């Protein structure tokens, strides 16, 4: 018969990390999609997304690992840095965080402001094909996951720059692909606005492509750059 988890352990291993992993995507969607609704300028949108994640990685990354992204969570599960159970819990609260932010944005802005941009839900722009969009989203997420491993996981890197580097990677990716695909790189970022705005075009792509890119980058960094098993004591959770 299994023993009941002590309250202090439950708080440290589950409640605090899951709370943080809810707040991070909430901030990303509220700031990022909010910038699309309020302004729409690519520079403002890129900075809003990058700053949101960079700041919250610095604020609470030490509590949960600061993934804030189901695709990155899948990469951590693939390398054994998160258990499947905790990975599923992380992904669930990340999606809920993005959904809560989207719901709040729909209240904070008049519908005639957010409806033309589908509440900031990412979309494939013409003349890009589905295949091109998939490639862009996968490669951009590859960059993001690679940088996360490089600055937040690899013990050889200075951890003080992790939030800055991760936020700048998101900013760079949005400069690259924002006009083509929305540069979501994050299923939670795509799903919340899509559900609230009922804008489902190519939603599957914003789950599959980031997951593919994140898994490839995570496995490459774990088993090639660091070597299999190196740094396992530094699991995110």
Summarize pLDDT for 88-138 with one digit per residue, the tens.
999 999 999 999 999 999 999 999 999 999 999 999 999 999 999 999 999
- Tell me phi and psi for residue 154, to 5 degrees: -60, 120
pLDDT for 229 equals 58
Q: How many percent of the chain have pLDDT more than 90?
A: 89
CA dist 170 and 115 (Å) reads 25
Using 50, 70 and 90 to split pLDDT, how confident is the model at 228? confident
CA dist 158 and 117 (Å) reads 39
Whether 28 contacts 52, CB under 8 Å: yes
Using 50, 70 and 90 to split pLDDT, how confident is the model at 206? very high
Whether 25 contacts 69, CB under 8 Å: yes
Asked whether residue 231 carries a pLDDT value surpassing 50, the answer given is: no
DSSP calls for 80-112: TSS-HHHHHHHHHHHHHHHHHHHHHHHHHS-HH
pLDDT for 130 equals 98
Instruction: State the average pLDDT over residues 228-233.
Output: 53
What's the predicted TM-score (pTM) here? 0.93
Q: What is the mean pLDDT of the chain?
A: 94
Asked whether residue 151 carries a pLDDT value surpassing 90, the answer given is: yes
Using 50, 70 and 90 to split pLDDT, how confident is the model at 236? very low
Instruction: State the average pLDDT over residues 189-218.
Output: 98
Asked whether residue 1 carries a pLDDT value surpassing 50, the answer given is: no
Asked whether residue 230 carries a pLDDT value surpassing 80, the answer given is: no
pLDDT for 191 equals 98
CA-to-CA dists, residue 80 to 27, 69, 89, 151, 164, angstroms = 27, 17, 15, 18, 25
Looking at the structure, give the CATH architecture of the domain made up of residues 8-234.
Up-down Bundle (1.20)
pLDDT for 111 equals 97
What are the tens digits of pLDDT across the range 68-82?
Answer: 999 999 999 999 999
Could you identify the residue written with the tokens 């988890």?
Answer: 5
CA-to-CA dists, residue 83 to 49, 87, 90, 179, angstroms = 28, 6, 10, 36
Q: And the tokens for 67?
A: 């993934």
Whether 218 contacts 141, CB under 8 Å: no
Instruction: State the average pLDDT over residues 203-212.
Output: 98
């Amino acid at each position: 018969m299994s023993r009941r988890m002590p309250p202090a352990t439950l708080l440290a291993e589950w409640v605090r990390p899951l709370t943080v992993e809810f707040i991070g995507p909430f901030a990303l969607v509220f700031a990022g999609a909010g910038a699309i609704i309020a302004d729409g300028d690519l520079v403002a949108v890129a900075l809003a997304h990058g700053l949101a994640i960079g700041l919250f990685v610095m604020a609470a990354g030490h509590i949960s690992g600061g993934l804030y992204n189901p695709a990155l969570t899948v990469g951590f599960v693939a390398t054994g840095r998160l258990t499947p159970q905790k990975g599923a819990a992380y992904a669930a609260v990340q999606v809920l965080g993005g959904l809560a932010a989207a719901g709040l944005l729909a209240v904070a802005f008049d519908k005639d402001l957010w409806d033309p941009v589908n509440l900031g839900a990412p979309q494939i722009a013409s003349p890009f094909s589905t295949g091109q969009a998939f490639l862009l989203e996968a490669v951009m997420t590859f960059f993001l996951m690679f940088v996360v491993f490089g600055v937040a996981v690899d013990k050889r890197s200075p951890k003080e720059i992790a939030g800055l580097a991760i936020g700048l990677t998101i900013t760079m990716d949005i400069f690259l692909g924002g006009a083509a695909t929305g540069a979501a790189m994050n299923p939670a970022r795509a799903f919340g606005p899509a559900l609230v705005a009922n804008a489902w075009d190519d939603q599957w792509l914003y789950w599959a492509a980031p997951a593919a890119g994140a898994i490839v980058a995570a496995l490459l960094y774990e088993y090639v750059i660091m070597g299999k098993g190196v740094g396992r004591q530094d699991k995110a959770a």
